Structure 1
Amino acid sequence: MKPSARAFPLLLAALLPLSACGIPETGVVEAGEPATGVLDPGVTSAPSESAPEAVPLVKVPLYFVEDGALVAVDRTVPGSTDLGSSVLMLFKGPNDQELGRGLTTELPPAAEAPTIRTDGTGVTVQLSRSAGILSDTAVDQLACTVAVARLRQDPALGRAQVTVEQPGGRLAGRSSDDCPVGADRKTPEGPGTAERTATPGIGGSVGGTGG
């Protein structure tokens, strides 16, 4: 018998067990669950369905005038504010709701924002030349708005001293201790007891004030 004839039966015998076990001769065997979380080309993360974060509401202390007296009000606005934002809000005057309550202002419209400098408990507000000379009540409005805003910015200070620098070098000083407060803010003497407290005038001029 030729060698090739003897090899064929041996090869056939070797292949028969493989066929009997069900092992395919070619191809890929798939097993398990299909893959999940696969992103399209160019996509780095799955889209988020979380709701956007809500913008927090903050209370901004502003001082207006009612029947000739200084009045403390809190205006609620979205987002955070700084001293400059509070002052610009004050110079714009009472909003419709506040006007409806009879509040007015003696501050003129601001063509330019004042310069504000802080140094611990001291705050200096330098008005632009276009602001002109303010009345005592207008200075009270501005100084108290800045003083109370400064204390809310850093309650650990306890008190704030504000100097308003007007055109021509005229200075006017005010202390937060002399400012009327609302029911939601405490002073060194104790908590306020009314929603709005009026003060006819708080004085405290340094180097003269406008009249």
Structure 2
Amino acid sequence: MKGSRLPALLVGLTAALTLAACGVPPSDVIQAGEPASGMRSPSPKPSVPTVIPLYFLHNGDLTPYPRKIGDLEDFRAVVRLLFGGPTTSEAVTATTELPRLTDTPDVLIGSDHTFSIQLPKDVPPLSHLAMRQLACTVTHVALPLAAQPADADRDGAPAAPSVDAQRSPHTSVQVLGDGWTMTQSDGSCPDRS
């Protein structure tokens, strides 16, 4: 038993001498502010819903239907909402000429205020009214856009933004299908003259 204690005692003494010889003098607790808590990333800006008009048809006429959107710069989301058609409550008065899509179209915006929308394969050419729905909707989200917070009217429905606050330079939409291309300007929109 004595033989097994001696090596353990020598190891402990060696460790104590090594720690004492490292040159760090003993000290008391040093107060230096808050304890470390790790790195914090900046908080993302909360998204403020904005009301935009989606153009559907009411008795065959283009009519804006207000919708809330979280990220006004997400043009793909706007186009996806439009191709999604009227909601159940909107369908009481609204119809659409746009087909239901299985995939979200790609959307590119040129410096000349031209929106290029690449539709999925096998979508037939759009009607004139469908092109006008697209052109009038993207007119209201084209840069520069005066974003307005979503307010509710007396019925709790989102209030439509004023047309003048939403105006942008003239916009055109180019829709690219599978073997076809169509272009429509916003000049034929009800609130553009």
Question: 2:142 aligned to 150, 160, 166, which one?
Answer: 150
Q: Determine the C-alpha separation between the residues in 1 that align with 2:144 and 2:66.
A: 12
Question: 1:160 aligned to 163, 171, 192, which one?
Answer: 171
Q: Determine the C-alpha separation between the residues in 2 that align with 1:71 and 1:90.
A: 13
Q: Determine the C-alpha separation between the residues in 1 that align with 2:120 and 2:38.
A: 52
Question: 1:65 aligned to 45, 54, 57, which one?
Answer: 57
8 Å contact kept, 2:106–2:117: yes
Q: Determine the C-alpha separation between the residues in 2 that align with 1:168 and 1:44.
A: 55
Question: 1:97 aligned to 85, 89, 95, which one?
Answer: 89
Give the number of equivalent residue pairs.
142
Q: Which residue of 1 aligns with 2:23?
A: none
Q: Determine the C-alpha separation between the residues in 2 that align with 1:129 and 1:43.
A: 52
Letter in 1 for 2:138: V
Give 1:147 shift: 3.0
- SS for the counterpart of 1:73 is strand
Shift of the 80–160 alpha-carbon distance from structure 1 to 2, 3 Å rule, reads closer
Q: Which residue of 2 aligns with 1:180?
A: 190
Q: Percent same amino acid among aligned pairs?
A: 29
Give 1:114 shift: 1.8
Q: Determine the C-alpha separation between the residues in 2 that align with 1:62 and 1:156.
A: 15
Q: Determine the C-alpha separation between the residues in 2 that align with 1:122 and 1:58.
A: 22
- RMSD, aligned α-carbons: 3.4
* Larger Rg, first or second structure (1 or 2): 1
Q: Which residue of 1 aligns with 2:76?
A: 84
8 Å contact kept, 1:147–1:160: yes
8 Å contact kept, 2:132–2:186: no
Letter in 2 for 1:113: T
Letter in 2 for 1:126: Q
- SS for the counterpart of 1:62 is strand
- SS for the counterpart of 1:139 is helix
**Which segments of 5 or more consecutive residues in structure 2 lack a partner in the other structure?**
1-32, 40-44, 147-165
- SS for the counterpart of 1:110 is coil
Q: Determine the C-alpha separation between the residues in 2 that align with 1:71 and 1:108.
A: 18
Shift of the 73–151 alpha-carbon distance from structure 1 to 2, 3 Å rule, reads farther
Q: TM (normalized to structure 2)?
A: 0.59
Give 1:148 shift: 2.7
**Equivalent residue runs for 1:1-211 within 5 Å:** 43=37, 55-100=47-92, 102-119=93-110, 120-151=112-143, 153=145, 158-169=169-180, 171-181=181-191, 187=192
8 Å contact kept, 1:63–1:142: yes
Shift of the 163–79 alpha-carbon distance from structure 1 to 2, 3 Å rule, reads closer
- SS for the counterpart of 1:168 is coil
8 Å contact kept, 2:72–2:141: no
